Amino acid sequence: MKIKFLSLMVCLFAGAMMASAQGGNFRQRTVEERVQTIHQKMDSTFKLEPAKLTKVDSAFATYYRASDKLRQELMSGGDRPDRQVMMEKMAPLTDARDAELKGILTEDQYKKWKDELEPSMRPQRRQ
């Protein structure tokens, strides 16, 4: 009887661990956490002065809040929105953020942001 009980407990524990490893603990990072990540990347790459870094942080905080709000609105319909629809709705937000960044960064810095940093900041999907 003890062996059956112990075997059952081991199987339940192993099942819980496998479910957890499959992404059961996914949590959307907060706006502040995402802004902090951008802040560190921009600071280490461009060595911007504090005033410019504050403007960059503000631009990204505004962008992340607006995109989270839009994502929530699109998800509230019940079904998961089409990727194409989501991209079309996000484009104006991204354009506004990029316009703000163009005013803060030099042309070379902005080009490096678009070509190198921005692609590295996109979430990578698991294979």
Q: What is the mean pLDDT of the chain?
A: 81
**At residue 126, does pLDDT exceed 60?**
no
Q: Among all chains, which residue has been given the structure tokens 């280490």?
A: 44
pTM for this model (two decimals): 0.71
Spatial separation of the C-alpha atoms in residues 88 and 4, rounded to whole Å: 56
* pLDDT per position as a tens digit, 34-84: 989 888 888 888 888 899 999 999 999 999 999 999 888 887 876 677 778
Structural domain boundaries of the chain?
A: 31-121
Contacts 24+ apart (CB under 8 A), 72-76: none
d(CA 57, CA 110): 15
Residue 21, pLDDT > 60, answer no
Average pLDDT over residues 79-91: 81
**Residue type, position 72, single letter:** Q
| pLDDT on residue 125 | 57
Q: For residues 15-23, give the mean pLDDT.
A: 60
For residues 42 and 48, give the distance between their C-alpha atoms in angstroms, rounded to a whole number: 7
